[in-house]
């Protein structure tokens, strides 16, 4: 399936027009050096987000499910260290490794030498819903609720175009990203890094983005340049990119090798066999109830539920259905989608379910066209990644 770059629906052309106007403004500001704000400015300016710590924040769930396109003020922030303050005037992206020609590109090189590409994609942290693992047994890490997810438009250039310009050498199999942040881990400080298989790097949906929702990237979301890898968990969408290395091997970075892998339930920090577990790349099917309102006027009260759902991140997969159960999974009612269907994007849904006697909670599950579906329970893993058991919402 080809990645599509247009939003289906009524006011498309106007919205796209406004977006490209905003983008042009953003680019100009970026080239003039406006927009490089101090690292912590965003934290004071984010009333729409709840901060778990100074680097990590998620929106209120009820607000999150109000809009298919997530506005910046409700878009989660997941950073392993402080936001670096970067000078767009001196910034250079370097492309090295198994390439015919090394490239060193300024921001204006990027926007003038390469075609602008954009796409809408959902970003989701692999730790989304992590707090539900802790109901079974405590896990470490940021205690994410279901808000570590958002859907945005991303504007930049195709990674494939840059790699073609650099020319790939024989043996190229992975594309590594190394960032400009400084992350403390195990007594040392090092930049964040990750890699993606060459095939995904060459896919049309994979971008290097300088703008989000038509505005210059904010510092917290990766200004001046980040990777956007649609379909993959957010960890591979590296922010504040410094160097891209084309290589035969995956990135040696800690976050590629020793985190973001799902370990068996009996494993812990000491016993985990990191080398044989595959990296967590493709997102998995998931759904969440965002709001529940009760209409008590009718004879049988009705629950109005709204939420989000995501298919797997596999290219070509999409959601087949979302279902709600009022009785702990014995019976299911199909929800209706209330947003467009786009590759690599979430969908919003809603359902009106009668509240019969004995109903105290609702469960939701999504099923993808690939057949992937959610289960009532899933295996615990000590890093708390990939929670996608049925989501529950109680009436009271
Ligand atoms: N350089 C850098 N890139 C990064 C991270 C980071 O800590 N440093 N966090 C990653 C993770 S785990 C996620 S989920 C996404 C979050 O992107 P956002 O903060 O724009 O929502 O960024 C990814 N890119
Ligand atoms: Mo993440």
| pLDDT-wise least confident of 10-24, 44-58, 190-204, 234-248 | 10-24
What is the average pLDDT across 56-67? 96
Of all protein residues, the one whose alpha carbon is nearest to atom 19 of ligand 1 is 77
Using the predicted structure, report yes or no on whether residue 159 has a pLDDT greater than 50: yes
Distance separating alpha carbons of residues 87 and 107, to the nearest angstrom: 11
* Residue 349: both structure tokens together: 């849904």
Give pLDDT, residue 38.
31
Confidence tier at 2 by pLDDT (50, 70, 90):
very low
Distance separating alpha carbons of residues 360 and 88, to the nearest angstrom: 54
What's the pLDDT tens digit per position in 341-392? Answer: 999 999 999 999 999 989 999 999 999 999 999 999 999 999 999 999 999 9
Strand-pairing partners, residue 334, are 323
Q: What does pLDDT average to over the chain?
A: 89
Distance separating alpha carbons of residues 207 and 261, to the nearest angstrom: 24
Give pLDDT, residue 282.
98
* Residue 161: both structure tokens together: 């175009």
Using the predicted structure, report yes or no on whether residue 39 has a pLDDT greater than 60: no
Using the predicted structure, report yes or no on whether residue 33 has a pLDDT greater than 60: no
Confidence tier at 329 by pLDDT (50, 70, 90):
very high
What is the average pLDDT across 308-324? 98
Residue 172: C-alpha distances to residues 203, 236, 251, 282 (Å): 15, 18, 13, 21
Distance separating alpha carbons of residues 236 and 265, to the nearest angstrom: 24
Give pLDDT, residue 320.
97
Of all protein residues, the one whose alpha carbon is nearest to atom 1 of ligand 1 is 239
Of all protein residues, the one whose alpha carbon is nearest to atom 16 of ligand 1 is 78
Using the predicted structure, report yes or no on whether residue 20 has a pLDDT greater than 80: no
Identify the residues whose C-beta falls under 6 Å from ligand 1. Answer: 75-80, 123, 125, 179, 181, 192, 221, 234-235, 237-240
Distance separating alpha carbons of residues 67 and 107, to the nearest angstrom: 31
What is the average pLDDT across 14-38? 33
Give pLDDT, residue 221.
98
Give pLDDT, residue 107.
97
Q: Residue 354 Cα, ligand 2 centroid: separation in angstroms?
A: 37
Using the predicted structure, report yes or no on whether residue 193 has a pLDDT greater than 70: yes
What is the average pLDDT across 30-55? 56
CA atoms within 13 A on the CB side of 184: 3
β-pair type (56-59, 49-53):
antiparallel
Q: Residue 196 Cα, ligand 2 centroid: separation in angstroms?
A: 15
User: What 3-state DSSP class applies to 72?
Assistant: helix
Strand-pairing partners, residue 117, are 156
Question: Percent of the chain having pLDDT more than 90?
Answer: 85
Q: Residue 173 Cα, ligand 1 centroid: separation in angstroms?
A: 23
Using the predicted structure, report yes or no on whether residue 105 has a pLDDT greater than 80: yes
Residue 29: C-alpha distances to residues 32, 216, 263, 321 (Å): 5, 8, 45, 43
Give the CA angle between residues 258, 264, 267 to the nearest 5°: 65
Distance separating alpha carbons of residues 337 and 335, to the nearest angstrom: 7
* Residue 175: both structure tokens together: 């594309």
Give pLDDT, residue 299.
85
Atom of ligand 1 nearest to the CA of 221: 20
* Residue 203: both structure tokens together: 């896919």
Using the predicted structure, report yes or no on whether residue 331 has a pLDDT greater than 50: yes
Give pLDDT, residue 46.
66
């Amino acid at each position: 399936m080809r990645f599509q770059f247009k939003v289906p629906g009524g006011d498309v052309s106007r919205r796209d027009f406004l977006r490209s106007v905003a983008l042009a403004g953003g680019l100009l500001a970026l080239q003039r050096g406006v927009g490089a704000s101090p690292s912590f400015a965003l934290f004071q300016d984010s009333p729409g987000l709840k901060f778990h710590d100074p680097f990590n924040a998620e929106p209120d769930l009820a607000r999150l499910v109000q809009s298919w396109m997530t506005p910046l003020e409700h878009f989660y922030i997941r950073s392993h260290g402080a936001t670096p303050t970067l000078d767009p005037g001196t910034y250079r992206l370097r492309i090295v490794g198994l390439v015919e020609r090394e490239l060193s590109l300024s921001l204006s090189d990027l926007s003038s030498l390469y075609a602008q590409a954009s796409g809408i994609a959902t970003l989701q942290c692999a730790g989304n819903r992590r707090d539900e693992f802790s109901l079974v047994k405590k896990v470490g890490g940021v205690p994410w609720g279901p808000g570590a997810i958002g859907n945005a438009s991303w504007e930049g250039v195709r990674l494939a175009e840059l790699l073609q310009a650099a020319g790939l050498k024989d043996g190229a199999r992975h594309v590594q990203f190394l960032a400009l942040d400084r992350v403390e881990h195990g007594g040392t400080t090092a930049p964040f890094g990750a890699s993606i298989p060459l095939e995904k790097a060459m896919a049309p949906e994979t971008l290097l983005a300088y703008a989000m929702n038509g505005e210059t990237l904010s510092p917290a979301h990766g200004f001046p340049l980040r990777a956007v890898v649609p379909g993959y968990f957010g960890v591979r969408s590296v922010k504040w990119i410094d160097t891209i290395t084309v290589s035969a091997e995956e990135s040696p970075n800690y976050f590629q090798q020793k985190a973001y892998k799902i370990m068996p339930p009996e494993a812990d920090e000491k016993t985990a066999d990191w080398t044989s577990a595959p990296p967590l790349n493709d997102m998995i099917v998931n759904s969440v109830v965002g709001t529940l309102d009760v209409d008590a006027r009718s004879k049988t009260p009705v629950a109005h539920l709204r939420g989000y759902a995501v298919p797997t991140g596999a290219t070509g997969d999409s959601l087949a259905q979302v279902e709600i159960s009022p009785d702990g999974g014995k019976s299911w009612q199909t929800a209706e989608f209330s947003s467009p269907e786009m590759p690599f994007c979430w969908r919003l849904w809603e359902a009106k379910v009668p509240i019969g006697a004995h109903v105290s909670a609702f469960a939701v599950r999504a099923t993808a066209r690939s057949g992937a579906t959610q289960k009532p329970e899933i295996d615990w893993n000590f890093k708390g990644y990939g929670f996608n058991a049925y989501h529950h919402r109680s009436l009271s």
